[in-house]
Amino acid sequence: MSTAVDAPRLAWSYTARSNLYAAPIVADIHPSPGIETVICDSEDQTVHCVSAGGHDLWKLCAPWNKRQASSVAISAAARDGAATVAVANGDGTLLLLDARTGKDVLKKTVTRVDRGGLLWADLDGDGRDELIVCGDDG
């Protein structure tokens, strides 16, 4: 028995200024209606939080000196009552951002993350997520 499936429809589009090496991340992280998409515009060195309607909610002009090749990671449990976006770069910079505003919560030098990645998980069972950084230097 076959079931008819509706063809997908375009809800919105985003025109990047450069290549997107990192996959976009989708989550409900902002008070605006619907689900947001966080996009790293790699060569432009910007991170965009795009609304469910396709409009920029915030944009971070990144402080690093290499293209952005890794995806962001999002946690609802890293800070009390506030979603957090983590983004790391191949120059060793790690930024934690308030997901509602895109403002820095923390800036730190860690390992190079060019093709590595980030992952939030509650490693010690305390109800708060810790950040795992998978760097390129082993």
Q: Each residue of 57-89: pLDDT tens digit?
A: 999 988 777 888 888 999 999 998 889 999 988
Specify the pLDDT at position 42: 84
Amino acid type, 84? T
pTM of the model: 0.87
Instruction: Give tens-digit pLDDT for 105-136.
Output: 999 988 888 777 899 999 999 999 999 998 87
Specify the pLDDT at position 111: 85
Average per-residue pLDDT in the chain?
89
Long-range contacts of 131-138 (CB under 8 A, 24+ apart): 131/73, 131/75, 131/78, 131/86, 131/96, 133/88, 133/94, 135/110, 135/111, 136/90, 136/111, 136/112, 137/111, 137/112
Cα gap 35→28, rounded to integer Å: 4
